[in-house]
Structure 1
Amino acid sequence: MNLSMCFSRLSLSLPPPPLCSHGSRISRPFPAPTALHLEKIASHSNSFAGSSLSLGNNLSLFSMPTQKHSKLTVFAAKKKKYKMKTHKSSAKRFRVTGTGKIVRRRAGKQHLLGKKNTKRKNRLSKMVQVHKSDYDNITGALPYLKVNRKAK
């Protein structure tokens, strides 16, 4: 009798997993083999020639002394670099000039325009360069913005 048959018999003798409040089964981990399970498996395993059963702390199953252990090379999985998301409202508020400066609109041109004179409204219509101290905040919100930090 092979090893998988023994494990299937042992797993069939376990009670079914309990039900959750909404009716689905609660999964539980596969039980660790105990010394009694290993003795049952060892008694059924007459077909394993040259195999040994160790019941030490590590509970290893059927180590084959006839085979040489080959060196295994474990490669670390490549960590995936995630794309940063653009803050979309910031992307609508800021632009980059051809020289790499970040510009914005002036505040105060949305409402109550009747009491503002024409000269003031024209001044508020123009784009203004963002202060250098705010560049870190803007480039954090807009990671793919091509900014020239040395532009004055």
Structure 2
Amino acid sequence: MATAVLTFGFKTCSPINLLRSGTPPFMPFITKQTSFLNLSSSHSISGPHPLVLSKNFTIASPIQRNSRSLTVVCAKGAKGYKMKTHKASAKRFRVSGSGKIMRRRAGKQHLLRKKNTKRRLRLSKMIQVDRSDYNNVIGALPYLKVNRSN
């Protein structure tokens, strides 16, 4: 996430200094431009004497002591990319009340007739995912509320 900082310097001018100088502090020069009467002239748009602002700006009063600067901080890409949940993983894993990631045991889908009852009961219980697999599960399920200290 990149941030851009822009600083703008604003000079304040009191009404007393404004009266002494006679002109507002950021008033640009206004010059008259003579135009010839043709289709490409600005006469047809703005009248006989169009006003054009010059590129030079002057400050009528000297730099004031009480100048203030305004800093604008803008975070680029604040929202960013929203991570997607892996839906197949979301169906296979649950989070317990204490924040542990739980999973089902393998071997309970088919061929159950040859397995005895105790084994089938043991296979039907949920068990905790190994700590070594936590990073893989959390990567697939970024919004899972997991307590990593457990």
Sort the TM-score into its range (normalised by shorter chain).
0.5 to 0.7
Gaps of 5+ in 1: 1-42, 52-63
Deviation at 1:45? 3.0
Q: Are the structure 2 counterparts of residues 82 and 46 from structure 1 closer, same or farther at C-alpha, using a change threshold of 3 Å?
A: closer
Superposition pairs of residues 3-152 of structure 1, within 5 angstroms: 44-45=40-41, 47=43, 64-65=53-54, 68=57, 78-79=76-77, 80-151=79-150
Give the strand-richer structure, 1 or 2.
Answer: 2
Gaps of 5+ in 2: 1-38, 44-48, 59-70
Q: CA RMSD in A?
A: 3.0
Q: For the residues of structure 2 that align with 1:68 and 1:136, how far apart are their CA atoms?
A: 60
Q: For the residues of structure 2 that align with 1:128 and 1:110, how far apart are their CA atoms?
A: 17
Amino acid at match of 1:45: S
Q: For the residues of structure 2 that align with 1:88 and 1:130, how far apart are their CA atoms?
A: 18
Give the helix-richer structure, 1 or 2.
Answer: 1
Q: Are the structure 2 counterparts of residues 86 and 68 from structure 1 closer, same or farther at C-alpha, using a change threshold of 3 Å?
A: same
Higher relative contact order (CA closer than 8 Å, sequence separation 6+): 2
Deviation at 1:44? 2.7
Q: For the residues of structure 2 that align with 1:137 and 1:90, how far apart are their CA atoms?
A: 10
Q: Are the structure 2 counterparts of residues 67 and 128 from structure 1 closer, same or farther at C-alpha, using a change threshold of 3 Å?
A: same
TM-score of the two chains, using structure 1 as the length reference: 0.52
Q: For the residues of structure 1 that align with 2:122 and 2:42, how far apart are their CA atoms?
A: 95
Report % sequence identity.
65
Amino acid at match of 2:57: K
Q: Are the structure 2 counterparts of residues 68 and 93 from structure 1 closer, same or farther at C-alpha, using a change threshold of 3 Å?
A: same
TM-score of the two chains, using structure 2 as the length reference: 0.53
Q: Are the structure 2 counterparts of residues 66 and 108 from structure 1 closer, same or farther at C-alpha, using a change threshold of 3 Å?
A: closer
Q: For the residues of structure 2 that align with 1:147 and 1:89, how far apart are their CA atoms?
A: 18
Q: Are the structure 2 counterparts of residues 49 and 138 from structure 1 closer, same or farther at C-alpha, using a change threshold of 3 Å?
A: same
